[in-house]
Each structure stands twice: as C-alpha cells, then as structure tokens.
C-alpha cells in the first residue's frame, strides 16, 4: 500500500468514531409534572409549555414530559410522585406547596421546581429565598403577603365589615403560615376572624352554614388546588348567602366570585420553565434563588357586586387589572 493511501486510510478510520457520534441522537430529557388536572390554570400550564418551546425544548425530540394528574385525589400524590422517581426523570415540576411536599418526600436528589408556591420558607421546603439549598427551588406567590393585602382590599369594598370568615385547607402546607399573616392584618384592620378548615369539597356547604351562624360579613378563601377545583360551587355559595368573597386566583372571579388578588400565575409558570431549562443544561437547584412575583392582578366581577348589592369604589375599579361586567 502506498504511503499516501495508508495515511488517508488512517485519517478516515480516525474520523469514523466522530461521524458515528455525530449521528447518535441527542439525549432526550424527561420532565415529570405533578399536578391536579390540565383543566386547573390551563393558561398557566400553556405558558409553561410555550416557554419551554421558546427555549428550544421540543416535545418528543429532546424532551418528554411525564404528566401525573391527581384529579382531585390528593391522597394519591405520594404514589404519583414515587412513580416519577422510578421513571428517573431529570427534573420534577411540582407547582404549589402540596405537590412540592409530595415530591420532597419522594426524592432528595432529583431537582424539584415549583411555579407558584405560597410560602416555601414557612413550609420548610427551602432554607431561604436567596439560598434555597437542597434539591428544591422555583417561584413563590408570596401568599402570606398577598392574602393579607386581599383582606385590606376586601375591607375597602365593605367598609362596615367587622367579622370575616377564612376558608383554608389543612392538607396545604402553606395555609398555616397564611393564616398567621391574615390574623396580623385582621388585628391591624380591627376585624375578627372565623377560621374554617375545609379538607374536601363535601365540606363547602357546612362551612358556609357555619359562617351564616356566626354572622360573618365576608369571606377570604386561601389559594389551593382543592378550592380551584370547586371554584364554581364556592361562587354559588357565596352568592346564595350574600357574602362578598376575596379569592386568590382570577379563575374564581371568572367563575362568579367577587374579587381576586394574586400574582400573575401565567407569568410565574413561564418563568418556572426557564429554571427547568437551566437545570437541564447543568445548573443545580441549590444555586438558583427562589424568585418572587413581579406582576400582580386585581380582578373584580361587577355583575356579582350588583347581585350582592355592593357598590365597588370607583378608585378600586380604576386600580383593577380586569373588570368583569
């Protein structure tokens, strides 16, 4: 064999492994998504998906999303979280505190990203906002602060208010810190609270009956997937008993509730997708600080206000991000 041919052959042989590697498909990452139902906050879920696409993650090509839906069966969350761990997903998206708690129990190594956690420090899910530590990070809705602000807005709508009922879910880790914040604000506003633990949708009617017996003048409903799933029923009961009600997510007002004050969840879910992107590209959750909301929404349902016989102050209407008429 001639020397030039031999050298050419060696060069071609050396190139084979490179060519073979170039033809190998890129790794397909697995993202676990632990949530109640695609019908809960669909605009937020689509915002998350859309942002991932914008960042170059194409479903079925370089990413596969493993969805696990609780469908209102929150007792199944540990089982669903463990399924995702067994699948060896690269990251778990557990949007709120109740899902984060289930994911945290299932794994201490797989990164977990929350998108709208009410109180990650109070729930014990992160050490601090700046340095979350461990395998969990994400975005918080600052429920303790926003719910307290919501109570203040409710008092503005009902100036003579003296007694307020608060619906909360004992299974939602962030609700106890949220109750503490409401109590502090209630004292500042001169309001008395009636707190009602509601563990399931079958308890809604009984809770409202208790409010009527105690002569509550209004209601604050803490944010949780359980209450989101029963948004229409909660709005119906509030109207039936003539109780002005402050919610967190805007979907409650779209379902007929009077008021909602909360961070823009679609924005938070889009931002959460950027953390999933960064983790898949090699960053560690412990190095990604928990971020706070930058956009808030005040939504008012004037049709409901009219039914309740409430004149919403024009100054508040002017401040609203959306008014439903």
CATH number at residue 112: 3.40.50.2300
Q: What is the pLDDT of residue 277?
A: 98
Q: Which tokens in the block code for residue 269?
A: 């879910």
CA angle, corner 11, sides to 6 and 12, nearest 5?
A: 95
Q: What is the pLDDT of residue 172?
A: 85
Q: Check whether residue 161 and residue 306 sit in a common domain.
A: yes
Q: What is the pLDDT of residue 44?
A: 87
Q: What is the pLDDT of residue 225?
A: 83
Q: How far is CA 102 from CA 34, 70, 177, in A?
A: 9, 12, 18
Walk across the sheet containing 63-69 and list its strands: 63-69, 29-35, 91-93, 112-117, 136-140
Residue range 297-319, pLDDT digits in tens? 999 999 999 999 999 999 999 99
Q: Which tokens in the block code for residue 4?
A: 């030039």
Number of structural domains, the chain? Answer: 2
Q: Check whether residue 161 and residue 227 sit in a common domain.
A: yes
Query: Which is nearest to 95 in space by CA: 70, 73, 129?
Result: 70
Q: Mean pLDDT over residues 79-92, rounded?
A: 98
Least confident of 29-33, 114-118, 142-146: 142-146
Q: Which percentage of the chain shows pLDDT scores above 90?
A: 73
Domain that holds residue 41: 29-141+264-294
CB 96 within 8 A of CB 175: no
Does residue 257 form part of some domain? yes
Q: Check whether residue 213 and residue 125 sit in a common domain.
A: no
Q: Mean pLDDT over residues 251-277, rounded?
A: 94
Q: Model's pTM, two decimal places?
A: 0.80
**Going along the chain, which residue ranges are E strands?**
29-35, 63-69, 91-93, 112-117, 136-140, 163-168, 192-197, 218-221, 245-247, 259-263, 296-301, 322-324
Does residue 24 form part of some domain? no
Does residue 20 form part of some domain? no
Q: Check whether residue 87 and residue 229 sit in a common domain.
A: no
Q: Mean pLDDT over residues 92-100, rounded?
A: 94
Does residue 4 form part of some domain? no
Q: What is the pLDDT of residue 25?
A: 52
Does residue 207 form part of some domain? yes
Q: Check whether residue 33 and residue 170 sit in a common domain.
A: no
Band (68; pLDDT cuts 50, 70, 90): very high
What is the C-alpha to C-alpha distance for residues 302 and 117, in angstroms, rounded to an integer?
29
Residue range 214-236, pLDDT digits in tens? 999 999 999 888 898 899 999 99
Least confident of 5-19, 168-182, 280-294: 5-19
Q: Check whether residue 178 and residue 239 sit in a common domain.
A: yes
Q: Check whether residue 101 and residue 164 sit in a common domain.
A: no
Q: Which tokens in the block code for residue 293?
A: 């909301």
Q: Check whether residue 113 and residue 175 sit in a common domain.
A: no
Q: Check whether residue 179 and residue 133 sit in a common domain.
A: no
CB 182 within 8 A of CB 220: yes
Q: How far is CA 195 from CA 163, 221, 223, 243, 296, in A?
A: 11, 10, 14, 15, 26
Q: What is the pLDDT of residue 268?
A: 94
**pLDDT greater than 50 at residue 10:** no
Q: Which percentage of the chain shows pLDDT scores above 70?
A: 92
Does residue 129 form part of some domain? yes
Least confident of 6-10, 73-77, 108-112, 134-138: 6-10
Residues 6+ apart with CB under 8 A from 188: none
Q: What is the pLDDT of residue 6?
A: 43
DSSP 100: H
Q: How many helices (DSSP H) and strands (DSSP E) are in the chain? A: 13, 12
Q: What is the pLDDT of residue 130?
A: 96
Q: Check whether residue 137 and residue 148 sit in a common domain.
A: no
Does residue 318 form part of some domain? yes
Does residue 9 form part of some domain? no
Instruction: Write the Ramachandran bin of 242: left for phi over 0, alpha for psi from -120 to 50, otherwise beta.
Output: left
Q: Mean pLDDT over residues 227-249, rounded?
A: 94
Q: Check whether residue 49 and residue 99 sit in a common domain.
A: yes
CB 222 within 8 A of CB 172: yes
**pLDDT greater than 90 at residue 285:** yes
**pLDDT greater than 50 at residue 3:** no
**pLDDT greater than 50 at residue 237:** yes
Q: What is the pLDDT of residue 144?
A: 81
Q: Which tokens in the block code for residue 185?
A: 């604000």
How many residues can be counted in the chain? 325
Residue 186 phi/psi, 5° resolution? Answer: -60, -40
Q: Check whether residue 34 and residue 107 sit in a common domain.
A: yes
């Amino acid at each position: 064999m001639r020397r030039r041919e031999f050298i050419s052959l060696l060069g071609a042989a050396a190139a084979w492994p490179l060519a073979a590697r170039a033809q190998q498909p890129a790794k397909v990452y697995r993202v676990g998504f632990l949530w109640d139902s695609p019908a809960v906050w669909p605009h937020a879920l689509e915002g998350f998906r859309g942002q991932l696409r914008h960042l170059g993650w194409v479903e079925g090509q370089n990413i596969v999303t493993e969805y696990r839906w609780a469908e209102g069966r929150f007792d199944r969350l540990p089982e669903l979280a463990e399924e995702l761990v067994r699948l060896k997903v690269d990251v778990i998206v557990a949007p709120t505190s109740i899902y984060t708690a289930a994911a945290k129990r299932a794994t201490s190594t797989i990164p977990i990203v929350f998108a709208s956690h009410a109180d990650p420090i109070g729930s014990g899910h992160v050490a601090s906002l700046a340095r979350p530590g461990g395998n969990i990070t994400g975005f918080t809705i600052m429920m303790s602060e926003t719910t307290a602000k919501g109570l203040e807005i409710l008092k503005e709508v009902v100036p003579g208010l003296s007694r307020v009922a608060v619906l909360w879910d004992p299974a939602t880790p962030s609700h106890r810190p949220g109750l503490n914040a409401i109590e502090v604000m209630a004292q500042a506003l001169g309001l008395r609270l009636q707190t009602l633990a509601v563990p399931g949708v079958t308890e809604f009617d009984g809770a409202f009956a208790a409010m009527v017996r105690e002569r509550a003048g209004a209601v604050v409903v803490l944010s949780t997937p359980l209450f989101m799933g029963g948004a229409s029923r909660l709005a119906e009961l509030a109207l039936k008993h003539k109780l002005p009600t402050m919610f967190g997510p805007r979907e409650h007002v779209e379902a007929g509730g009077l008021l909602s004050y909360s961070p823009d969840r679609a924005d938070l879910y889009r931002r959460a997708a950027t953390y999933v992107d960064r983790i898949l590209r090699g960053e560690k959750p412990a190095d990604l600080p928990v971020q706070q909301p930058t956009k808030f929404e005040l939504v008012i349902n004037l049709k409901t206000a009219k039914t309740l016989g409430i004149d919403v102050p024009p100054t508040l209407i002017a401040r609203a991000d959306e008014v439903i008429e």
